[in-house]
Amino acid sequence: MKCEKVINDFLNQDDSRYPAFLIRLHIAFCSRCRKEVSILQKIFVYARTSSSFKMPDDLSNPIMRRIFKSDVIYEKNISSSKWLLSGIVIFLSIFLVSYSDSFIWLRSHFGSLLEIPLYIVMGFIITLYAAMYIGTHIDDMRKFVKFIENRINL
């Protein structure tokens, strides 16, 4: 490793107190880099201790508190057409599984008693998918229900 690259890699680290393995290996054999890294570490320690600005070691809690207090709302919505397409694919795959060779083989070995639990599981999956869609599009569902109520009352 070249000396310039070692010093650049040392300066690009997030924490200069714990150099990477390759940097420590190079420093062990190169006295020039060892002296330069030692001077840089002393400068970093001095800058950390003598600064009037004290930064806490863990910034994640104060940052998350400020995010939760902010008025900005970020939502990433998946379009209804993607939900609908995914629902059609799920429904067709569940519907067509009863015509697959694997299901026919299972029916021949276990009889028709296997169909009831399988259909219960399939119904549960479809119900769960519908509940997830309604839960993520609750405002659209409210508008739809109001629209239907208005049409019925006419």
Q: Are residues 87 and 141 in the same domain?
A: yes
Confidence (pTM): 0.42
Residue 39 lies in a domain: yes
Give yes or no: residues 46 and 88 share one domain. Answer: no
How many structural domains are present in the chain?
A: 2
Q: What is the pLDDT of residue 75?
A: 63
**Residue 84 included in any domain:** yes
Q: 32-45 in b/e burial notation, b at 16+ Cβ within 10 A?
A: ebeebbeeeeeeee
Higher local confidence (pLDDT), 59 or 84: 84
Range of the structural domain that residue 11 is part of = 3-50
Token pair of 137 as six digits: 């599009």
Is position 56 within any domain? no
The answer as to whether 63 is a domain residue is no
Asked if residue 71 belongs to a domain, the reply is: no
- Whether residue 97 is found in the same domain as residue 143: yes
What does DSSP assign to residue 127?
H
Tell me: do 149 and 84 sit in the same domain: yes
Distances (CA, A) of 94 to 90, 106, 114, 125: 6, 16, 15, 9
Asked if the model's pLDDT at residue 129 lies above 80, the reply is yes
Residue 107 lies in a domain: yes
Whether residues 38 and 99 fall in one domain: no
Q: How far apart are CA 151 and CA 47, in angstroms?
A: 71
Query: Is 75 inside any structural domain?
Result: no
Which range among 22-26, 48-52, 84-88 shows the weakest confidence by mean pLDDT? 48-52
Instruction: Indicate whether 68 belongs to any domain.
Output: no
